[in-house]
Amino acid sequence: MYSPKAYLKNYFFLFFFSSLFIIFSNLIIDPQGIFRIVEIDNINFQKPLMDKSGLRKFKSIEIEEGDYDTIILGTSRVANGLDPSSVQSSKKVYNAGLNGSNMYEIGRIFQFSHQVQPLKSVIIGLDFVSFSGQPRVRGDFSSSLFANKSKYEIYFKNVFSGQQLISSWKTFQFNHKGNKVNAVYTPEGFRTTKSVAPFNKKKFTQKLRYNFIRYQRVDYQQSQLKAFEDIVSHCLENNIKLYLFISPIHIQNLEAMRIAGQFPMFERWKKDLVNVIEKAHNNLGLSNQVDLWDFTGYNSITTEDIPNVDQKYHLKGYIDSDHYRPEVGNLIIELVVNRNRQKKANIPQDFGVIINQNNIHQHLKKIRSDQQRYHQNYPQVIDDIEEVLRKDEKSHSYLVPSIKLASL
């Protein structure tokens, strides 16, 4: 029988070496790219869990440790579409776009970034869905530097966490099997995708159903608009150059929005954005003019045809109907930031309009007119979209009434 002294001794050694194992594993495997002590092929080089459980911590540390005077803010659309290397700047540009972020989160990231190092320029890609719901944070935001956590607190929790040990084990298994993540982040926060599966009619149907349900649930909130207003005012007050644009979603999304009954709210949102900017200009002067570009609508980029199921080619401008490719992102940067439409012959003349109080009503009217014209010229495309969103007779899952839906 063990004596109490021997038992305590064995317990101590077990606890000590178990703790060492946890610390060593979490430090070396580093599933969320926080410590970056070493990167080894087939051990920890690939980070399959970072997108889901560590991106906000990772990017907050990157921003604090980096030397940036320009930051890109927005959802996964800018994270996938805007390459910081395409922005003309005296210093480095960092892409702080985050999957599923809302304006409240974006405002918090802006505040943190400007505290770390005074910013000269801010680029924001605006999305209607990011103005939905009450102010909230997602994923690991609450445990990141964005939420005023200290770096040492983050390190401590990630070193001694049992949950982190599970993530380390999953990351090791993924690497040991020789698997490769399809998307990696550059040192400037840009999400690069190695290969993109063809976006054919089958994926089109899946994405359309998803977007339709998402638009049905949009709950546009003035509190989210207030977060946007605070960014605009702060930039004007502190002479920070602000570049704003509304992301060029594929017309599949516009049609899903129309059928979901949210198109009028989408138009109101654009009017509200214009009003916020106009109010800030009136209150603070025009020394730092802020333009708002709108890339939505029925233009040369957003109306790209969806390939049939048996066709294997990729969309030229989109990864899918939500995310535009860097090639489109480069056009946005040339127009919004570099102001080079005349120098770039490959930029369609109908892609991108600066909207303000003088033209917003006419602009919205034109989009409505373009929508009707598109419906008339491509009735089969609209029929296909509406057919997907009718009642599924096999599963009896209700989406929209199985009757012809009005265009507007």
C-alpha distances in Å from residue 125, one per residue of 76, 262, 279, 366: 10, 20, 20, 22
Per-residue pLDDT reduced to its tens digit, 154-184: 888 888 888 888 888 999 899 988 888 878 8
Conformation bin of residue 281: beta by default, left when phi > 0, alpha when psi is -120 to 50: alpha
Band (395; pLDDT cuts 50, 70, 90): very low
pLDDT over 90 for what percent of the chain?
52
Per-residue pLDDT reduced to its tens digit, 270-294: 999 999 999 998 887 655 689 999 9
Per-residue pLDDT reduced to its tens digit, 249-267: 999 899 999 999 999 999 9
Its pTM surpasses 0.85:
yes
Which among 12, 95, 78 has a CA at the least distance from the CA of 247? 78
Longest pairwise C-alpha distance within the chain: 89
Count the neighbouring beta carbons within 10 Å of the beta carbon of residue 278. 16
Which among 130, 132, 154, 133 has a CA at the least distance from the CA of 142? 154
> What pLDDT, on the 0 to 100 scale, is given for residue 359?
97
Per-residue pLDDT reduced to its tens digit, 327-383: 999 999 999 998 776 666 688 999 999 999 999 999 999 999 999 999 999 998 888
What's the rounded Cα separation, in Å, for the pair 60 and 151? 9
Count the neighbouring beta carbons within 10 Å of the beta carbon of residue 395. 7
DSSP state of 210: H
To the nearest whole number, what is the mean pLDDT of the chain? 86
Per-residue pLDDT reduced to its tens digit, 28-38: 898 888 888 88
Which among 136, 112, 293, 96 has a CA at the least distance from the CA of 224? 136
Band (408; pLDDT cuts 50, 70, 90): very low
Q: Flag whether pLDDT at 13 surpasses 60.
A: yes
Element (H, E) at 274: helix 263-284
Tell the burial category of 244 from Cβ atoms under 10 Å away from its Cβ (0-12, 13-18, 19+): buried
Per-residue pLDDT reduced to its tens digit, 85-130: 988 776 789 999 999 999 999 999 999 999 998 999 999 999 999 9
